Structure 1
Amino acid sequence: MVINRPHSKLKSLLILILLSFVACPALAFINIESLRQIDGKGYLGQTTLQVSGQQGNTDKFTSQASTMGVYRLDINEWLYTASYKYGTSANVRDTNLGSGHIRHTWNYQEPIAYEAFIQSGFDEFKRLNSRNYVGGNLRFRLLHSEDNRLYAGTGAFYEVEDFEGQDEDTEGLRGNIYISHVARLNETVTSSTTIYYQPKFKDLENYRLRFMTGLDVRINETLSLDVDFNLVNDSGLPEGVKQTDIDYLVGFSVKY
């Protein structure tokens, strides 16, 4: 779709900013482990906005907004994430994707915890109209010190995918295995790395592998500089769609 109104980019940016701040009080798998490892009860939240653009010989615009939060009681933890990414090149849309996730964890402070989750997402340029799933995990605390925290999880989820050009939805049960490490490198810098492996039970050659790593550099009590690298390999995409996507992002986040 060609965008021919001169103010369309500014309008898209303003909408993203408004959505991110409106969502904060009410409110990729999205990596929430760095926020999740902050101790304390009650509510913790974080919102990130990343924007980049070029004009002249190269005409490119990309924006991304995400918000996440954790609410804790004595033995229960609720968390949510939501993100949206939009981009154009030469005034033609080339990026349009988003997702949302809600998870409940019982006994979150214990060595073994129980998780249930739902997620929904779409990605126009992977020809994915929608992907919805519901599932559960066992979460194991392998290491828990002041500077290093290591967790692993195993479980499964049932998903329904709607791809453009396919007559029927694709359904099936996938395994969900992950390992997560968060390290406090010093008083201001924290690193987080999470790896997910999600094979389809009836077709093990159909799998997803997601690698997410990043640095959180604290500027003050609420503002941080974020550097993220994400790699996703999905062998179950339609023919003609590249299986591997890589993102590297720099932006600012606000914790509240």
Structure 2
Amino acid sequence: MAGRQSSRWVLLLVWLHAASAAAQIVNVQALFDENTGPGRSAAVDLGADWRTGSTDLFSVRGALLGQWRSEKHTWLAVIRGEYAFAANEVIVSKVMEHVRYRYGFTERLSGEVFLQHEFDKFRRIQFRALLGAGPRVRVLTDKQATLVVGLALMLEHERIRRDSEPDAGEFRTDPRLSSYVLGRLEFMENVFLVQTLYAQPRVTNPADIRLLNDTIFEVKPNERLSVGIGFNLTFDNSPPLGVPKLDTQLRTSVGIRL
């Protein structure tokens, strides 16, 4: 059983965006496969759009995820990027890398340490790095319902890209709290709802807060095929100049497990 899970690959063949978002909070918790056994697993997420005629658009996006689990230890690594070109202009250009380690003290309590880097041209982020750690508690572990809460203290370093805006080139290093609640509910056999809420206030100024609401509805007709619809909403109370405070994203996906 562990051998089968350690060689499992997931290929997402379709990833369509109905609205583009540039969220600063990344819902890494939803990427963990809580049901896999000890061993290695990996996933590839690929997608592209190419339109010509009345609308000229080229968009490509991809992600690579790897996970290793033992009885007490879990490692997760993610790298993903997106690039889009329309009407002779680049409209999306971003990349993110994230590494997370989790140690299980008991069945319900674990500790996490994580490191993350981001670049997002159109949120005017030239460089953003996070380093954080904190506890994670599984409040509910029923077969049909799971509820997890976590809290981390993280150090954030952010540098604004050099452009024509008044805050061009500015940088700052701030401590933030990162709290989240993750719930997973099985409505019926192979039909799931996954809900994640994040709040990340700046320690030295709690009014400077970032919020994320991420909702995923997933159907698994069989063990190899999954279909999902997701919506997320991100709010940043103090974004760089010229960047909106609110972002939304609607996405659909079809996955095949090999």
- Using the size of structure 2 for normalisation, the TM-score is 0.81
Q: Which residue of 1 aligns with 2:251?
A: 249
Runs of 4+ in 1 over 6 A off after TM superposition: none
Contact 1:46–1:254 (8 Å) recurs in 2: no
Equivalent residue for 1:179? 181
Deviation per residue, 1:197-224 (Å, 9 max, x gap): 0001111121111111112332543342
The change in CA–CA distance for 1:157 and 1:90 in structure 2 (over 3 A counts) is same
Gap change, CA 1:68 and 1:192, over 3 Å in 2: farther
Q: Pick from 60, 64, 69: which aligns with 1:67? A: 64
**Separation in structure 2 between the aligned mates of residue 32 and residue 252 of structure 1, nearest angstrom:** 20
d(CA) in 2 for partners of 1:216, 1:126: 30
State how far apart, in whole Å, the 1-side matches of 2:106 and 2:49 are. 39
* Unmatched segments (≥5 aa) in structure 1: 1-16, 18-27
Aligned to 2:27, what secondary structure does the other structure show?
coil
Question: Which residue matches 1:10?
Answer: none
CA distance in 1, matches of 2:221, 2:176: 40
Letter of the 1:188 counterpart: N
**What do residues 138-181 of structure 1 show as CA deviations (whole Å, max 9, x unaligned)?**
10111001111110001210011111133442111000100001
Match of 1:43 in 2: 40
Give the aligned partner of residue 200 of structure 1. 202
Deviation at 1:255, TM superposition (A): 4.0
Q: Can you list the C-alpha shifts for 1:58-79, whole angstroms capped at 9, x where unaligned?
A: 2233332123232111111111
**Contact residue 117 and residue 130 of structure 2 kept, 8 A:** yes
- What is the alpha-carbon root mean square deviation over aligned residues? 2.1
In structure 2, the residue matched to 1:154 is 151
| Matched position secondary structure for 1:158 | strand
CA distance in 2, matches of 1:228, 1:154: 24
SS in 1 for 2:188: coil
Instruction: Identify the structure with bigger relative contact order (alpha carbons < 8 Å, sequence gap 6+).
Output: 2
Change beyond 3 A, Cα 1:91–1:251 = farther
Aligned to 1:12: none
How far apart, in 2, do the equivalents of 1:142 and 1:107 lie?
A: 14
Query: For the Cα contact (< 8 Å) 1:34–1:192, is it kept in 2?
Result: no
Name the structure where helix makes up a greater proportion of residues: 1
Matched, 1:117 2:114: yes
> Match of 1:237, as an amino acid?
P
Unmatched tracts of structure 2, length 5 or more: 1-12, 14-24, 163-167
Equivalent residue letter for 2:161: E
Aligned to 1:6: none
- With 94-103 and 166-175 compared, the bigger mean Cα shift is at 166-175
Q: Percent same amino acid at aligned positions?
A: 25
In structure 2, distance between residues paired with 1:34 and 1:168: 32
Per-residue CA deviations over 1:16-44 (Å, capped at 9, x if unaligned) read: x9xxxxxxxxxx72344264322411123
Map of 1:209 onto structure 2: 211
Which residue in 1 is equivalent to 2:220? 218
Instruction: Find the aligned partners of 1:45 and 1:185 in 2 and give their Cα distance.
Output: 27
